[in-house]
Amino acid sequence: MTRTMINRAIATLLLASALVAPNQASAEPALDRVLSGVQVTNAKSCTLLNIGFNLRVRYMSHFPSGQGQELRIMLRPIDGQQAAAEILTRRESVRAPEIKRAAIRAIDFEAGNAAGPVLVIQFEKPVYFEVGQGGDFQSLVVAISGGSPSSSCKAVLPSRGPMGAWSTTVARDGEAALVDAPSVRARGKGQGTASEAQIRDAAAAIDEGRAAMKKENYDKAIAIFSKVLKWPETPSSAEAQEYLALARQRAGQTAQARAEYEDYLQRYPVGEGADRVRQRLAAIATANGETTAKLRSTADGKAENGGQQTWTVSGSASQFYIRDDSFRTLRDPSLPRSVNEAADAHDVHQNELLSSLDLIATWSGDGFKSKFRFSGTEEHGFGSDEREIVGVAALFLDTTIRDLDLQARIGRQTRNTGGVLGRFDGAVLTYQPDPLVRLNAVAGSPVQRRRDTPFEDEKLFYGASIDVGPLLGGMDASVFAIEQRDGSILDRRAVGAELRYFDANKSAFATVDYDIHYNELNAAVLNGSWTFDDKSIVTAAFEHRKSPYLSTWTALQGQSFPTLYEMLKVKSIAEIEQLAMDRSASFTSASLGFSRPINSTFQASGDVTVTNLDGTPASGGVDATTSTGNEFFYSAQIIGNNVFENEDMLIAGVRFADLDQSEQYVLDLSARYPLMDGLKINPRLRLGYRTGDTTDLEEYSVLPSVLFNYYVTRDWSLELEVGAQWTNTTLNGIEETATDLFFTVGYRYDFYADGQVAGNARAAPYGVGASK
């Protein structure tokens, strides 16, 4: 298949779903959603949300601390450059799972807040919750216990790698899932709250038991799963219960297996696991010559689940009109006024319709699960900029085969581990030979622009990594090696390692990436957080990295050559590699943050960051850049809820930046106020002042805006935002006044369908809150 044919195939897939048809594709960054999806696990008295991101993030703090109708989770991207490329809009949403205990109305990501990015979860009613860092540092975990607190509902979801738990993830549930059913038999199941160690040990024991079953050592498997079920309820309990019954059935202990299956249905009556269990119970009854009730049937009359597949389709479609105009007046007081002076300069920075489609389809059977995902955007320009930009950010198929311990994903995807730097076209294969070991192989072509076709310019990378863990109670480790080439030219050859640790109160992440061809450290990153008993949270981060990442391709910056091969016609490979090193500056930053609830209504937080960007030498016709020196950033914020009205939210933040050549002060005030059920108004006012250190620069800015969110139904929502920014800048006696007006209006539609009868409990077998 030629590149042109591939381009047409990708574009056609998006055109069929977009509401505005494009004419041509332009070269643009490959932008994607920040949110990748929501995985839901229903445990006893607790619903766990695992909210995934397309980039690595670190948890900072959340508010309110334990109960409320709106939850705001403050976070920071670990990879700042990738975050800047991923954020397409100031706000985005992911489809909220329909779980009655959780009562979730919406899940939104907001990028333009004074204190940094925020994940906002809105509930239909006040609920109790806990928040924690995801074990892969690419997700956040929210534990929801409903209308009453539960000491056993903890935001801990062990990271168990791609093979992971074969657990049911719920997109829609029924009343039965909300009932803490008693055990049919007194089997001595542990009471109380599971400790963090028990949660981790239970997750590891599932893998150990599966390995024993694979070797047909059913006695050992029965002992392992029985041990797990003697502990208090954990996220692995349902899986252990099903495996225990299956192990007894394969060991010929039919009566005991039947009792375990029946016990399972009492405890966990809803979901894919329950469907499998009902089918196995029916098979046991048939083998014994018993008369059984007919299996539940789908709308087409076929037997539900069991040996057949379950499927789901979910996602969202949206369209937003975006307009951004600016008006500028330049006034030099040293010159006389002209009666024929031109009118204010008017520029239209953005005038477009942005259409987006995010789609995920899943299907699973007894022993496998598969997922297809598509995410794309189409930008239709108006006026003088009538360009069409088609972006395909994700287009892949993912399949896991449980009995073989294999997972494969092929297509356009994003990966932020194992030395892979974001989005690429290619494949990842994972094999788990042991409960504590995962082997990964990856190959593909990096995606720099939306129009990139697979392996454009012959760029190719391949690598391997080994994941080990959990170890020492909560630690995972990875080592990797990766090489990238542009045809015969070596672009990057690196080795590195990652360490991850988390429990209910602490988390830490560290990674090192070293280029063994250039003998240069590309990145060293360390992040951590600690939550204390009084809900105070301390966060710290350090990073030293090349900006941009050192690779031979970096030599093209500032050059007229479109490819390395063109440059190689006039320069030697040694000269090209020296240019690459010259263009890669070293960036270092360190930060420390703290947050603490003042009372049940207010919370205070603050952080300080210092950064330093080295200069680069002049070479190859590119001018030198000077070092910024140490630049300091300070911020503080107070946030309150239910201050004047139930569901309201007030936020006041201040920021100060001591930069290389200027100082900047910002006051940011915002609020969220309910006007009626489903309709909220969000006014905001930002005031800024900037003054030069080495010049007579003085700048004032005022930015008022108002945002309206209206949830017409659970699936339909409308959004309207209008705002303006007035800026007055004086430099060297010349005054410039600028006015920027912006306007955004649009709608969003969320959809969901599955293969079950309407009104029955609906379960999605692969983490489909919305999209990933």
| Spatial separation of the C-alpha atoms in residues 655 and 667, rounded to whole Å | 7
What's the Cα-to-Cα distance from 693 to each of 652, 661, 667, 699, 711, rounded to whole Å? 27, 5, 21, 13, 48
Specify the pTM: 0.76
pLDDT at 7: 40
pLDDT at 767: 33
**738 pLDDT above the threshold of 50:** yes
**184 pLDDT above the threshold of 90:** no
pLDDT at 602: 94
**73 pLDDT above the threshold of 60:** yes
Q: What secondary structure letter does DSSP report for 344?
A: P
pLDDT interval class at 341 (50, 70, 90): very low
pLDDT at 272: 65
The burial of 329, by beta-carbon neighbours within 10 Å (0-12 exposed, 13-18 middle, 19 or more buried), is given as: middle
Helix count (H) and strand count (E) of the chain? 9, 32
407 in Cβ contact with 436 (< 8 Å): no
463 in Cβ contact with 480 (< 8 Å): yes
Give per-residue pLDDT as tens, 674-712: 998 889 999 999 999 999 988 889 999 999 999 999 989
**771 pLDDT above the threshold of 70:** no
Give per-residue pLDDT as tens, 572-587: 999 999 999 999 999 9
**299 pLDDT above the threshold of 60:** no
Residue 228 CB contacts under 8 Å (≥ 6 apart), including other chains: 202, 205, 206, 209, 234, 236, 237, 240
**766 pLDDT above the threshold of 50:** no
In order, the DSSP letters of 132-184 are EE-TTSSEEEEEEEETS--TT--S-----TTT-----EEEE--GGGGS-PPPS
| Spatial separation of the C-alpha atoms in residues 402 and 207, rounded to whole Å | 11
| Spatial separation of the C-alpha atoms in residues 712 and 715, rounded to whole Å | 8
**What is the rounded radius of gyration, in angstroms, for the C-alpha atoms of the chain?**
28
**388 pLDDT above the threshold of 80:** yes
Higher pLDDT, 270 or 768: 270
401 in Cβ contact with 409 (< 8 Å): no
Give per-residue pLDDT as tens, 518-568: 999 999 999 999 999 888 999 999 999 998 889 999 999 999 998 898 999
34 in Cβ contact with 109 (< 8 Å): yes
**12 pLDDT above the threshold of 60:** no
Mean pLDDT of 287-307: 45
| Spatial separation of the C-alpha atoms in residues 364 and 384, rounded to whole Å | 49
Higher pLDDT, 169 or 101: 101
pLDDT at 347: 64
pLDDT at 114: 65
Pairing of β 57-63 and β 104-110 = unpaired
End-to-end CA distance of the chain: 27
- State the residue for tokens 């454009």: 456
What average pLDDT does the chain have? 80
What's the Cα-to-Cα distance from 290 to each of 245, 281, 395, rounded to whole Å? 20, 11, 48
Give per-residue pLDDT as tens, 159-176: 544 343 333 333 444 333
pLDDT at 460: 92
pLDDT at 168: 31
pLDDT interval class at 26 (50, 70, 90): very low
Amino acid at 660: D
| Spatial separation of the C-alpha atoms in residues 728 and 737, rounded to whole Å | 5
**235 pLDDT above the threshold of 60:** yes
For 498, half-sphere exposure in the C-beta direction (CA atoms, 13 angstrom radius) is: 20
Amino acid at 607: D
Give per-residue pLDDT as tens, 248-257: 888 888 888 8
What's the Cα-to-Cα distance from 284 to each of 39, 187, 250, 255, rounded to whole Å? 32, 22, 12, 9
Residues in the chain: 772
Tokens of 486: 């542009």
HEC-encoded secondary structure of 284-316: HHHHCCCCCCCCCECCCCCECCCCCCEEEEEEE
**284 pLDDT above the threshold of 90:** no
**302 pLDDT above the threshold of 50:** no
pLDDT at 330: 56
In a 3-state reduction of DSSP, which class is residue 502?
strand
pLDDT at 763: 35
Residue 260 CB contacts under 8 Å (≥ 6 apart), including other chains: 241, 244, 245, 248
pLDDT interval class at 179 (50, 70, 90): very low
Domains of the chain in sequence order: 35-146 (2.60.40), 196-287 (1.25.40.10), 406-503 (no CATH)
In order, the DSSP letters of 596-660 are EESSSSEEEEEEEEEEEE--B--BTTBPPB----EEEEEEEEEEEESSSSTT-EEEEEEEEEE-S
